[in-house]
Chain A
Amino acid sequence: GAVVSQHPSRVICKSGTSVKIECRSLDFQATTMFWYRQFPKQSLMLMATSNEGSKATYEQGVEKDKFLINHASLTLSTLTVTSAHPEDSSFYICSASQANAGNQPQHFGDGTRLSIL
């Protein structure tokens, strides 16, 4: 149980393109999902907390207009990297924990490798 799926697993696109990444909880409902960014050989840095039915909460230094988050249902959150540039190239990972189940751990998707040319 507790499977989190991310799509796509890899994206290569031209500079200026907007890219949407989906994060789905496959076998549980998640009122909260988290988006992380990870550079090579580095740790995970929290970008934002995605709340179902409300606005996301962004960490300090993360541009809200650059990284658009939508959490339209209890099983889906999306991250859109708008007008992506080479410096946005990174490994983006989402996580989710089961709603209304009391102190459930976060489970992570397998990440999306974004490469901007």
Chain B
Amino acid sequence: QQQVKQSPQSLIVQKGGISIINCAYENTAFDYFPWYQQFPGKGPALLIAIRPDVSEKKEGRFTISFNKSAKQFSLHIMDSQPGDSATYFCAASKAAGNKLTFGGGTRVLVKP
């Protein structure tokens, strides 16, 4: 059972454009929703995270939108840059330090 579904699988964006990645979860016990960025051959790096008590969180060019009733959350990358080209994973857990359930990942390519 895939508890966190992520879409799209891949995304091509022009430099300066907005990258949007969506995730949906099933387990209502999830209480912590991070996004990770992974470059080839490296481990995932935490980008931004949100808890269900807020509907939006912004850090620099990265924004998470959260819809608790729909059990969906999304990552928006504003002013996308070629250096943002990477694989992005959403995840969910019952608390920040608990085991994570990952979405399938989205490969983002930002064209110059």
Query: A: which residues have CB within 8 A of B?
Result: 4, 6, 32, 34, 41-46, 49, 93, 95, 97-98, 103-111, 113
Contacts and interface: CB of A to CB of B under 8 A. Distances in A.
Contacts of A106: 34, 46, 96-97, 100
A46 B105 CA distance: 15
Nearest to B9: A41
Given A42-B105, A43-B104, A108 B45 contact: yes
Given A46-B99, A105-B97, 14 more contacts: A34-B100, A43-B102, A43-B103, A44-B100, A46-B100, A93-B43, A95-B43, A103-B97, A104-B97, A106-B97, A106-B100, A108-B45, A110-B41, A111-B43
A105 B43 contact: no
Interface of B: 32, 34, 36, 41-46, 49, 89, 95-97, 99-105, 107
A112 to B, nearest CB: 10
Contacts of B36: 108
Given A6-B43, A105-B34, A107-B46, A44 B89 contact: yes
A44 B102 CA distance: 7
A4 B45 CA distance: 11
Contacts of A113: 41
B41 A111 contact: yes
A109 B43 contact: yes
Nearest to B95: A103
A104 B96 contact: yes
A95 to B, nearest CB: 8
A111 B87 CA distance: 15
A106 B107 CA distance: 22
Contacts of B89: 43-44
23 contacts: A6-B43, A32-B97, A34-B100, A41-B107, A42-B105, A43-B89, A44-B100, A45-B102, A49-B99, A98-B97, A103-B32, A103-B97, A105-B34, A105-B97, A106-B46, A106-B100, A108-B45, A109-B43, A110-B41, A110-B42, A110-B43, A111-B41, A113-B41
Nearest to B36: A108
